[in-house]
Amino acid sequence: MHAAAAIDLPDELELPLATGAPYWYWLGGRPSLDLVNTLRERWRRRVETLVTPADLGDWLVQAKLLSVPMDVPRPVLAEARELREAIDGAAEALLEGSTPAASAVRLIDRWLVHAGSRPALALDGGRPVLGERAPADSPRRALGTIALDAARMLGTEAERSRIRVCAADDCSARFYDRSPAGRRRWCSMRTCGNVAKARRHRARTAA
């Protein structure tokens, strides 16, 4: 996975995209926020990068939530986008100090059933053995894992207090602040942080 800049969408981008794969980035710090960041430029053009079911399947593999690409039914793509917006809506509300919409909380909660324990019976050395299915055995279960990550983040005071939106005016990246002091401002110092530093330097020089 690459950590592409969160401000790298060209102005001449032809929309809608045929595929969003070149524009995924992994700066969220946890899978639920990486999913939220698949809608790029929330501050301007709202560029959809989960364009096709195949995009979602590939994204889940790159996010290490599926071990191999799997066919994703088109309705699951729509459901994944709904989950994404519910997570973002709840996170934004908490950042603003307001109460998340009950509908967003219910939607995330409905996905948790897919993250639960799933027993499996298989032959091992000629004998049936009861075990547990792998967490990455279907796109829906992978999305359930994302919902569980979101529920842990939103539902725990210590964790929800570290949800951030990049401070750059031209970036809408959401990220989880894992810095010891909890004062991180940028999705990445290598991208938005360096741009802000350069702007401050130019302003001081001009002054």
Q: Which tokens sit at 4?
A: 């592409």
Structural domains in the chain? 21-206 (1.10.3300.10)
Distance of alpha carbon 115 from alpha carbon 81, whole angstroms: 18
Tell me: pLDDT of 91 over 70. Answer: yes
Percent of the chain with pLDDT over 70: 88
Confidence of residue 108 (pLDDT cuts 50, 70, 90): very high
Amino acid at 9: L
pTM of the predicted structure, to 2 decimals: 0.87
What region, left, alpha or beta, does residue 198 occupy, with left being phi > 0 and alpha being psi -120 to 50 degrees? alpha
pLDDT at 195: 63
What average pLDDT does the chain have?
90
- Cβ density class 63-79: b for 16+ within 10 Å, e for less: bebbeeebebeeebbeb
At residue 170, the pLDDT reads: 84
pLDDT for the residue 189: 80
Query: Is the confidence at residue 193, as pLDDT, over 70?
Result: no
Which among 66, 100, 63 is positioned nearest to 85, based on CA atoms?
100
pLDDT at 190: 77
Q: Would the pLDDT of 94 be above 90?
A: yes
In the predicted structure, residue 205 carries a pLDDT above the cut 80: no
pLDDT given at position 153: 98
> What tokens appear for 88 in the block?
């973002």
pLDDT, mean of residues 170-193: 89
- Say yes or no to pLDDT of 164 above 70: yes
Among the ranges given (51-60, 62-71, 117-126), the one the predictor scored with the smallest mean pLDDT: 117-126
Weakest-pLDDT range from 45-49, 50-54, 59-63, 167-171: 167-171
Mean pLDDT, residues 145-153 = 97
| Residue 37: closest CA among 18, 14, 62, 12 | 62
Contact in structure between 37 and 166 (CB atoms under 8 Å): no
Q: What is the mean pLDDT of residues 30-57?
A: 96
The rounded distance, in Å, linking the Cα atoms of 64 and 136 is 8
Is 143 a residue whose pLDDT tops 60? yes
At 197 the pLDDT is 59
